[in-house]
């Protein structure tokens, strides 16, 4: 079955990011999804999700049993009407698409914000960082005072395997303003395909590295 998202659906689903309250990227509640992929080409699981010892913080391999086949990175038939190089996050299926051409895309399984912190709309990837520092927003610190030690005032949480942003982060802006939402890595494969974080879009670290290398600065992003 071909992945197919129409312009009508995009336009009808888009609402402004402005005015939304950031909740951060910490793991919390979960909700599941059922998906059916149709790959055009596929590489071996081991090649895609092997250990990355050359990284500044070496990544372990992902166990095949930890990531359902439907959430594994794959090139798929896909029609959207969006320009090549665009990103589309379909929150109903827990898929992120990198539009490759008019009828193909790279598809990644993602984890999404739990109910109450979901967001949608059009924006852009203003910049991106490898192994970023994480600074929880004031709203999150107010709910979880123990996170004050990682506040902007204290320099944030250093990069590493335990950092909530993982191996890479892409920073989403709208109208020149940082929305404080991120596409970022995670070392928790069980969280893919579920609503587990407080607002951000998470990918397996191996997948976010692959996506990071494909995405150009100012790439448009659509969340529906």
Instruction: Note the pLDDT tens digit of each residue in 106-135.
Output: 999 999 987 556 778 999 999 999 999 999
Q: CA 141 to CA 138: how far, in whole Å?
A: 5
Higher pLDDT residue, 175 or 117? 175
Q: Within the chain, what is the greatest distance between any pair of CA atoms?
A: 50
Residue 40 has pLDDT above 80, yes or no: no
Q: CA 58 to CA 69: how far, in whole Å?
A: 24
What pLDDT is attached to residue 20? 39
Higher pLDDT residue, 172 or 115? 172
What pLDDT is attached to residue 77? 95
User: What pTM was computed for the model?
Assistant: 0.82
What pLDDT is attached to residue 43? 61
Query: How many Cα atoms are found within 13 Å in the side-chain-facing hemisphere of 101?
Result: 5
- Give the E-state strand segments of the chain in sequence order: 3-4, 39-41, 74-79, 87-90, 95-99, 104-109, 112-113, 121-130, 168-174, 177-186, 195-197, 201-204, 219-223
Average pLDDT over the chain, rounded to whole? 84
CATH 2.60.40.3120, domain 3-223, yes or no:
no
Phi, psi of 186 (to 5 degrees): -150, 150
Task: Over range 184-199, report the average pLDDT.
Answer: 89
Per DSSP, 166 falls in state T
Report the percentage of the chain scoring pLDDT > 90: 66
Q: CA 217 to CA 65: how far, in whole Å?
A: 34
Per DSSP, 111 falls in state B
pLDDT band at 3 (very low <50, low <70, confident <90, very high): low
Residue 48 has pLDDT above 80, yes or no: yes
Catalytic positions: 184, 200
Domain residue extents for the chain: 3-223
User: Token match 């579920």: residue?
Assistant: 194
| 87 closest CA partner among 195, 5, 197, 191 | 5
What pLDDT is attached to residue 14? 43
Residue 22 has pLDDT above 70, yes or no: no
- pLDDT digits over 78-96, tens only? 999 999 999 999 999 999 9
Q: CA 74 to CA 180: how far, in whole Å?
A: 28
């Amino acid at each position: 079955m071909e992945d197919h998202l129409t312009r009508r659906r995009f336009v009808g689903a888009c609402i402004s990011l402005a005015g939304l309250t950031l909740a951060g990227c910490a793991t919390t509640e979960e909700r599941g999804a059922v998906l059916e992929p149709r790959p055009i080409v596929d590489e071996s699981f081991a090649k895609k999700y092997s250990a990355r010892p050359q990284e500044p913080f070496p990544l372990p391999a992902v166990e095949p049993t930890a990531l359902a086949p439907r959430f594994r990175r794959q090139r798929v038939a896909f029609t959207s009407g969006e320009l090549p190089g665009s990103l589309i996050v379909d929150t109903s299926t827990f898929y992120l698409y990198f539009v490759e051409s008019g009828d193909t895309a790279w598809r990644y399984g993602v984890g999404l914000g739990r109910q109450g912190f979901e967001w949608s709309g059009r924006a852009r990837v203003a910049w991106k960082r490898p192994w970023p520092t994480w600074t929880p927003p004031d709203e999150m610190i107010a709910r979880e005072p123990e996170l004050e030690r990682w506040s902007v005032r204290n320099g944030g949480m250093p990069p590493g395997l335990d950092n909530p942003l993982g191996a890479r982060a892409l920073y989403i802006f709208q109208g020149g303003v940082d929305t404080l939402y991120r596409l970022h890595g995670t070392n928790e494969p069980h969280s893919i395909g579920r609503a587990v974080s407080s607002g951000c879009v998470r990918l397996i670290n191996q997948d976010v590295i692959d996506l990071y290398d494909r995405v150009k600065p100012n790439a448009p992003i659509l969340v529906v």
